[in-house]
Structure 1
Amino acid sequence: MTIKIPTIAEIKEKLSLPKPWDSVVIFLLNILIAIPLLLIEHQNLIDLEWVLHLDRVLIFIVILVGLQLLLRLVKTIIILIIFLYVIALLYGTLFGNYGFNRVFEDYRYMVYSMSETPNPQDIIVAKLLPFPNKSKIINAVEFSNPKVRNFALSATTKHFREIKQTGEIRRMIQCFAVFKEIRNRWNYVNDPKGREYIAPATESLQHFSGDCDDHAILMSACIKAIGGTPRIIHTGGHLYPEMLIGNKKDLETAIYYIKEVLFVEESEYQQIYYHIDERGQIWLNLDYTATYPGGKFMSEEILGALTFN
């Protein structure tokens, strides 16, 4: 019995969609890719202020044409990948995991966030690049350890206890109390030469000393221990913690308490620094270089974000 091995042309034909559906799929994919690329170009190129923003329209057309030509060159492979992706999303939708609705929401939030930030490319880069020492850092953020929890509780009784609030505002104020206590006691010390040392949160509690990643780990652990949502930002040569504030209305509340109630002297005449993620959520800077929550970034670039929900 002779087994016939299909040729490359036959394989390509079997994997191809019938016309005109192949062109429709490629064009829709083109649009989905072109919109984020346009936002990046819009933020990074000089606005020529042409009538009706025709310069931006021309850029969008150039992006569409270039992408269309590129995608058609690898059409068969792309259609196969899309088919497998749709199957995975169908499975996720049926069994309650990552499905079609989550993809739509994530894409919508990504586009919204890219339109709001001066560096929209950072959002895409943050999703693509690996986070350094990710597993070690996750293990080091010991938010459930009693020593971490007890320290965080002591900070909330030491600072701002007289501010009577409830709910989310109370939680935010208590997280700010944790920031103040760690910020006041932190002593920056370099890692051993030629080695990246990741200190667990409980270890940093002994001397309140270490480098930027040790500070970010301790701050994140303590914020998480009292109900806040922290994340650690990777910029290439620096790690620092941020705290989830919420939406723009929540940010206004945070700014009021920072500048008018809790950190009046430290934040006087100063700007509040924050990031908006792909879901439109606002994160406030809690770096050790800042003297108040939302202080100036040491490095604003984002190459990765590790969130502790």
Structure 2
Amino acid sequence: MIKPDIPKIKAFIKKLQVKKPWDSIIIFVLNVLIAIPLFIIIHQNIVDPEWPLHIDRILIFITMVTAIQLILRLLKHFLIFCIAVYLIVLLYGSVFGNYGFNAVYEEYEAMVYTMAYDPNPQDLIISKLLPFPNKSKIIDAVDYNNPQVRNYAVGAATKYFKDVKGYHEHRLMIQCFSVFKDIRNQWNYVNDPRNAEYIASASETILHFSGDCDDHAILMAACIRAVGGTPRVIHTGGHLYPEMLVGTKADLEIANYLIKEQLFIEESRGKEVHYHVDEYGQVWLNLDYTARFPGGPFMSEEILGALTFN
């Protein structure tokens, strides 16, 4: 039986030790580096009780930092090993496109921004008993597979915001925002014929970028769908408007930051981002022609129905 060489083991452990006061400094830095991505993950996966000043998040962060500090103190003889493991994990995530250094920075930036500047949630109450007006006509009119619609949507998706660095995994969201901007810039409101409800297809409306609210909603929904997004049309009684699926609350944080600080800075200055949360917890942004940026103010908040295209 081979006996362990105790002196060599002790010598190896001694080599891994860091002398004072550097051990305390390294523990503090390592605590912060571990706490940031861990807090982001926790923040994104627990229910937000919407306490004032985000006190729940502050308490979670303090508790987490304290626990990590105690664990690192217990492992202070292996600090070099802990640093190596931390760097290897993030380096692996960066190289293979998972959760790496860039992802930590981007999500932390977006999370802090949203905690400081909350977007404005709206209550979503849809009466599923009410029929959606002209439902079958609207479904047929959202002809996202039409070559003209597809070709326009592809061009509009890549017309703006091509130089945004990072956020590669949110490329679809950014491209949908580009589609919104291009349609919004060209749109002209034109009434339907007197005493008639004219439902124009997206391929028809795209010829002049003109029509009423349902024509705009149909065109926007078709173009968002044509580039891979998930749109829906909201019925409020006297108005129809489009929304796009953002995803989770974590995705909303990214969207809020991109809109306010990257893509629609002037249009959204001093304004809130408006959205709806459906019965499944999914977030939808307003894309109405009355809004100058995605998530602009609603023209009408009374919701009587939603028609989703996915």
CA distance in 2, matches of 1:171, 1:271: 22
TM-score (norm 1): 0.60
CA distance in 1, matches of 2:260, 2:231: 21
CA distance in 2, matches of 1:191, 1:155: 26
Correspondence list, 1:1-309, <5 A: 119=123, 122-123=125-126, 125=127, 127-165=128-166, 168-309=169-310
CA distance in 1, matches of 2:259, 2:184: 15
Pair 117,163 (structure 1): closer, same or farther in 2 beyond 3 Å: closer
What amino acid does structure 1 have at the position aligned with 2:308? Answer: T
Q: Is the 8 A contact 2:184 2:292 kept in 1?
A: yes
What amino acid does structure 2 have at the position aligned with 1:227? Answer: G
SS of structure 1 residue aligned to 2:172: helix
Cα offsets for 1:225-275 (capped at 9, x unmatched): 000000000000000000000011000000000000000000000011110
Q: Is the 8 A contact 2:123 2:276 kept in 1?
A: no
Cα offsets for 1:204-227 (capped at 9, x unmatched): 111000000000000000000000
What amino acid does structure 2 have at the position aligned with 1:181? Answer: D
CA distance in 1, matches of 2:165, 2:123: 38
What amino acid does structure 1 have at the position aligned with 2:142? Answer: V
TM-score (norm 2): 0.60
Alpha-carbon deviation of 1:301? 1.2
Residue segments in structure 1 that go unaligned for 5+ positions in a row: 1-115
Q: Is the 8 A contact 2:157 2:227 kept in 1?
A: no
Cα offsets for 1:177-225 (capped at 9, x unmatched): 0000000000000000100000000111110000000000000000000
Alpha-carbon deviation of 1:167? 5.4
Larger-gyration structure (1/2) = 2
Q: Is the 8 A contact 2:122 2:276 kept in 1?
A: no
Aligned partner of 2:109 in structure 1 is: none
RMSD: 1.6
Alpha-carbon deviation of 1:117? 7.3
CA distance in 2, matches of 1:118, 1:283: 10
CA distance in 2, matches of 1:169, 1:117: 21
Q: Is the 8 A contact 2:121 2:275 kept in 1?
A: no
Alpha-carbon deviation of 1:158? 1.5
CA distance in 1, matches of 2:166, 2:220: 23
Alpha-carbon deviation of 1:153? 1.0
CA distance in 2, matches of 1:148, 1:231: 17
SS of structure 2 residue aligned to 1:148: helix
Cα offsets for 1:276-301 (capped at 9, x unmatched): 00101000000000000000000011
CA distance in 2, matches of 1:306, 1:299: 17
Pair 247,197 (structure 1): closer, same or farther in 2 beyond 3 Å: same
CA distance in 1, matches of 2:273, 2:239: 20
Pair 223,129 (structure 1): closer, same or farther in 2 beyond 3 Å: same
Deviating 4+ runs (over 6 angstroms) = none
Pair 198,118 (structure 1): closer, same or farther in 2 beyond 3 Å: closer
Q: Is the 8 A contact 2:122 2:277 kept in 1?
A: no
Alpha-carbon deviation of 1:168? 4.4
Alpha-carbon deviation of 1:128? 1.5
Alpha-carbon deviation of 1:165? 4.6
SS of structure 2 residue aligned to 1:213: helix
Pair 265,118 (structure 1): closer, same or farther in 2 beyond 3 Å: closer
Aligned partner of 1:94 in structure 2 is: none
CA distance in 2, matches of 1:168, 1:245: 13
Pair 243,219 (structure 1): closer, same or farther in 2 beyond 3 Å: same
SS of structure 2 residue aligned to 1:206: coil
Q: Is the 8 A contact 2:122 2:274 kept in 1?
A: no
Alpha-carbon deviation of 1:162? 1.5
